[in-house]
Amino acid sequence: MLLTRASEYALLSLDVIRKSDSPIGTEQLATELSIPKSFLAKILQSLAKQGILESRKGAHGGFILIKDTTDISVNDIIFAAEGKSPVVFDCTSYANTCPNGTIGTCSISPFLHNFQSKIDGFLNGLMLSDIL
Amino acid sequence: MLLTRASEYALLSLDVIRKSDSPIGTEQLATELSIPKSFLAKILQSLAKQGILESRKGAHGGFILIKDTTDISVNDIIFAAEGKSPVVFDCTSYANTCPNGTIGTCSISPFLHNFQSKIDGFLNGLMLSDIL
DNA sequence: GTCCTAATAGACTTATAAGGCTTTAAACTA
DNA sequence: TAGTTTAAAGCCTTATAAGTCTATTAGGAC
């Protein structure tokens, strides 16, 4: 699968958070979306680190959106949630076992790059406001 | 990752097999491409079951291509190699834990379906002859 | 100061991918 | 027919990623 649950949870969370003016806590989000609190906490943390959300500690703390939904691409969200952009097939992670060591230059490389750029283009051009 | 090594090996193998008139054995292919023989054998078997290759037992046996490369889509190959078509995010495999049980009807479903159909269209329209 | 909530870190469980090994069955060769 | 070659099939091990849980630490609100 191209995406993991991290992306699913991130997108579902952002759909709730964007509708609120005040911060929403992990606890509340987890309950409302019926998803594990601990896992969600890590994802929200990552979104905050990437500047998509702002986190507020203490009582009445939680997470709020600090960008306009037209300024956040779906790729940004996935990257933050998963720690990397979605990839078709990562040759580099197999570098040591790549047949003949022809990494990036084998017979299927052109296809992989073409495919990858199609996906990148799609996700970078798609804004959060387009899908929610 | 969207694709696994099974697809990589399948495509690399087909690139070799298509150039030969006589059957090529698993042993020879595995050596030539520097990939594990036992794993490759399973992949080739799957390709044969899907009617992409024909297998011949006995001396001088092996695998040959029985279709024109313009009649095999990349999606066919991936499906055969991996046992399923590449999927962006498989909600159905998470059916039991889908938030609110709103499978296929949640706020991100339209995005997922749109994304998936883009990929399906690309891979179904792309023939083996286009990429090798 | 005390309660509330996020941040951080780590252990743990489960699922999947990847590869290996062995046995069986089929087909060709001589 | 006997022997060789090759695919077919199943089971097993290992590596890695995904997902979950628990406990501790840090910081803000009242």
For the stretch B10-45, pLDDT in tens is: 999 999 999 999 999 999 999 999 889 999 999 999
Domain holding A30, by residue range, is 5-131
Q: What token pair was written down for B69? A: 């490369």
Entry pTM = 0.91
Q: What percent of chain A has pLDDT over 90?
A: 51
How many pairs of residues across A and B have Cβ atoms under 8 Å apart?
79
Closest listed residue to residue B68, CA positions, set B16, B7, B129:
B129
Residue A33 to residue A76: CA distance in whole angstroms: 22
Residue A126 to residue A131: CA distance in whole angstroms: 8
Residue A73 to residue B93: CA distance in whole angstroms: 27
> Could you tell me the CATH number of the domain that includes residue A71?
1.10.10.10
User: What is the count of structural domains for chain B?
Assistant: 1
Q: What sign for the dihedral angle of Cα B76, B79, B80, B82?
A: positive
Q: Are strands B53-56 and A62-65 parallel, antiparallel or unpaired?
A: unpaired
Facing B88 at nearest CB: one of A3, A15, A118: A3
Whether the CB-CB separation of B3 and A88 falls below 8 Å is answered with yes
> Distance in angstroms, CA of A38 to C1' of D24?
14
Residues 6+ apart with CB under 8 A from B86: A2, B2, B3, B78, B119, B123
- When pLDDT is averaged across residues A84-101 and rounded to a whole number, the result is 73
Is A99 within 8 Å of B11 when comparing Cβ atoms?
Answer: no
Supply the DSSP string of B8-56, one letter for each residue.
HHHHHHHHHHTT-SS-B-HHHHHHHHT--HHHHHHHHHHHHHTTSEEEE
- When pLDDT is averaged across residues B75-85 and rounded to a whole number, the result is 94
The tens digit of pLDDT for each residue in B99-125 reads 555 656 788 989 999 999 999 999 999
Q: Looking at the predicted structure, is the pLDDT value of residue B6 above 60?
A: yes
Residue type, A27: E
Whether the CB-CB separation of B53 and B66 falls below 8 Å is answered with yes
Residues 6+ apart with CB under 8 A from A66: A51, A52, A53, A54
Q: What token pair was written down for A22? A: 């005040």
Residue A33 to residue A104: CA distance in whole angstroms: 41
Q: Looking at the predicted structure, is the pLDDT value of residue A101 above 60?
A: no
Q: What token pair was written down for B131? A: 């990429």
| Residue corresponding to tokens 């609110």 | B100
Q: Looking at the predicted structure, is the pLDDT value of residue A102 above 70?
A: no
Footprint of strand C on the protein (CB under 7 A): A 23-27, 38, 41-42, 44-45, 48-49, 55-63, 97; B 4-6, 35-39, 42, 56-61, 82, 93
